[in-house]
Amino acid sequence: MGVKPLSPLDLALAAFLVLLLGILSWRMRLGLGKQLAISSLRTTVQLLFIGQVLRILFDHVNFPLIFAISMVMLMVAGREVVVRQHRRIRGVQGWLLGTGSMFVSSFAVAFFALWIIIDNEPWYTPQYAIPLLGMLLGNTMNGIALSMDRMTEALWQQRQVVEQRLLLGQTSKEAIHEIRQQAMRSGMIPIINAMAAAGLVSLPGMMTGQILGGSSPMDAVMYQILIMFLICAGTGFGVMTAISLTSRKLFDDRDRLCLEILEKK
């Protein structure tokens, strides 16, 4: 049995709940009404668009097109990493740090999963490649954004302590060791919490989708375990790469702190 199709009326009823939330937000003066409206509109337009793109991809497997879509997803994710930071590195450098970290982690993990674990023919079959990469990028993006934000904000607040440590003879790595650790933990906490709660507190999205689509519950569970492990690895590698690159960028060749490259959002 396949998934029961949804009508525009069904989606309108769900949208009514968001509209009700927006009205309550306005009455309580939370200042979230505009953001809710924009996010809802973006969700609708973006998902309808990607649905049409995926329909074409599924009918005509084309590696250059799949790669191009993957690059667009990566660049948009890199932008989201930058805009979520309170104090970010000026110019295109901050975007490159986040984007490069996600490319190294998410694409490497996705390639490993598609080529070695799933082993489909061809390995870039869009039914597997695009959803898998999307889940990896989405979660890695959150982890990297949280860790980089924690890193730059902590360095800004503790800049005098860090500079004193540098004057006492510590290297840049030694002076910010605790800050680096806390930043990495911040980026990893969401996926660790998600893994700890999976099955008991929540049923993850992919597993739910497969069950609704008629797959065997155990098959859905096996795929969800695979996805959780891949997301954990991708997030961890991405966070470590991002923090390492950010740390180097915030110090010059003589181990002097260079916070002037940061700008406040």
pLDDT at 109: 92
pLDDT at 93: 85
**Statement: the pTM of the whole predicted model exceeds 0.95:** no
Q: How far apart are CA 160 and CA 245, in angstroms?
A: 22
Assess whether 105 and 235 both reside in one domain.
yes
Separation of first and last alpha carbons in the chain: 50
For 156-169, how does the pLDDT look when each residue is reduced to its tens digit (9 = 90+)? 989 899 889 988 88
pLDDT at 3: 63
Residue with tokens 């660049």: 75
Assess whether 73 and 17 both reside in one domain.
no
Q: Which residues of the chain have pLDDT under 70?
A: 1-3, 202-203, 265
- Whole-Å CA distances, 87 to 90, 143, 154, 188, 261: 9, 16, 10, 20, 10
pLDDT at 59: 82
pLDDT at 75: 92
HSE on the CB side for 190, CA within 13 Å?
A: 18
Angle, vertex CA 206, rays to CA 223 and CA 110, nearest 5: 60
Assess whether 116 and 218 both reside in one domain.
yes
Assess whether 37 and 66 both reside in one domain.
no
pLDDT at 240: 94
Assess whether 34 and 112 both reside in one domain.
no
pLDDT at 1: 52
Beta strands in 26-185 (DSSP E): 87-89
Q: How many domains are contained in the chain?
A: 2
Enclosing domain of residue 11:
1-60
pLDDT at 71: 92
Assess whether 115 and 190 both reside in one domain.
yes
Assess whether 135 and 85 both reside in one domain.
yes
Assess whether 165 and 82 both reside in one domain.
yes
Residue pair 194/206 in contact by the 8 Å Cβ criterion: no
Assess whether 53 and 73 both reside in one domain.
no
Assess whether 253 and 122 both reside in one domain.
yes
